Amino acid sequence: MWAVEVKSLSYIHSMGTPFAKQALKDVSLNIAQGQIVGIIGPTGSGKSTLVQHFNGLLAPQKGSVNVLGRSTADKAVRMNLWKEVGLVFQYPEQQLFEETVYDDIAFGPKNLGLNEIEVKKRVIKALDDIGLPEEILSRSPQSLSGGMKRRVAIAGILAMQPKILVLDEPTAGLDPAAKSRFLNLIRKLQQSTGITVILVTHSIDDAAELAHWLVVMDRGRIALQGKPKDIFKQPERLIQIGLNVPVEIEVTRKLFEMGIPVRTDVLGLNEAVEEIARIRDRRKKTGG
Ligand SMILES: Nc1ncnc2c1ncn2[C@@H]1O[C@H](COP(=O)(O)OP(=O)(O)OP(=O)(O)O)[C@@H](O)[C@H]1O
Ligand SMILES: [Mg+2]
């Protein structure tokens, strides 16, 4: 069973008004369970509209969306999806409103109707999953740094123990160090829990290292999808869509064009550095 199965989905916002805007056009994709899938594309390409179909916030107008084997055309299915699909919006920390971190994280599990002991267990587990110390439970969310607040907001979603976690622009506004810490955390979380993660982002760099599968959107359609390595074999296409190409891809391509026999399918800066060092060492040995 797929985590998410989308068939020929089209969607028009404000349909039937002068503001009508077609956000999705004939989109089809499958998301496997237990994977990290990156959805990338420029502003307005339809990323948020697409993922809002995954937790039942939007109902398909045309085509179909099945989540964990159930059709979201059914209102009862949509109404219950919040329990299984955690959707984290951009700047989720703006939705922290309780007096303590504990109360904020406990909010979702309480709504699931769990008893106090179970709620507490969930809160502690979520905190651990997202790499926060227990000391912060009694603090006010407002007293925390931006990166910490965001982790608290995500802990609140994790405490519901969703099967699918959708993060819409999760690193927006974080400084580079916080961003990199956050992405590593998501990777570890996915590995330890086996949760399906859907990561929506403008930034191809965010998606490049993390995702097992990439979906590239362009003006409401899927332009490309595949393994990151295969997607980056088409840098011209990405640039044409208005996306940047990861810096390591750009550098290794340039070297290759200069006649240096470097692999051009590296992913991440570390792999690129290793590959370039490998070529250098080989040249030293052969005196080339
Ligand atoms: N509620 C709405 N009413 C009318 N048009 C909308 C609405 N929401 C989105 N749109 C339009 O639909 C298109 C797709 O928007 P969407 O938010 O899905 O894109 P996105 O890829 O998430 O963009 P961003 O990267 O800026 O978040 C855009 O042209 C947008 O202006
Ligand atoms: Mg968006």
Query: pLDDT 10s per residue in the chain (288 long)?
Result: 999 999 999 999 999 999 999 999 999 999 999 999 999 999 999 999 999 999 999 999 999 999 999 999 999 999 999 999 999 888 888 888 899 999 999 999 999 999 999 999 999 999 988 889 999 999 999 999 888 888 999 999 999 999 999 999 988 887 888 788 888 989 999 999 999 999 999 888 888 878 999 999 999 999 999 998 888 888 888 889 988 777 888 888 888 888 888 888 787 788 888 988 998 888 888 775
User: What separation in Å is there between the alpha carbon of 18 and the centre of ligand 1?
Assistant: 16
CATH number corresponding to 4-242: 3.40.50.300
Domain boundaries, the chain: 4-242, 246-288
Atom of ligand 1 nearest to the CA of 169: 27
Q: What is the distance of C-alpha 89 from the center of its chain?
A: 11
Residue 112 tokens read as: 């699931």
Name the residue with the closest Cα to ligand 1, atom 8: 13
pLDDT of 89 reads 85
CB neighbourhood size of 247 (10 A):
12
Global pTM reads: 0.89
Q: Which of 191, 185, 158, 202 is nearest to 38 (CA)?
A: 202
C-alpha–C-alpha distance, residues 24 and 124, integer Å: 39
pLDDT of 185 reads 87
C-alpha–C-alpha distance, residues 31 and 7, integer Å: 12
Atom of ligand 1 nearest to the CA of 220: 14
Atom of ligand 1 nearest to the CA of 42: 25
User: What separation in Å is there between the alpha carbon of 158 and the centre of ligand 1?
Assistant: 26
Q: Is residue 141 within 8 Å of 127, Cβ to Cβ?
A: no
Within 6 A (CB) of ligand 1 lie 13-14, 19, 21, 23, 41, 43-49, 202
Name the residue with the closest Cα to ligand 1, atom 30: 44
The ligand placed nearest to the CA atom of residue 52 is: 1
C-alpha–C-alpha distance, residues 180 and 250, integer Å: 20
User: What separation in Å is there between the alpha carbon of 26 and the centre of ligand 1?
Assistant: 16
For residue 134, give the DSSP letter: G
Name the residue with the closest Cα to ligand 1, atom 28: 44
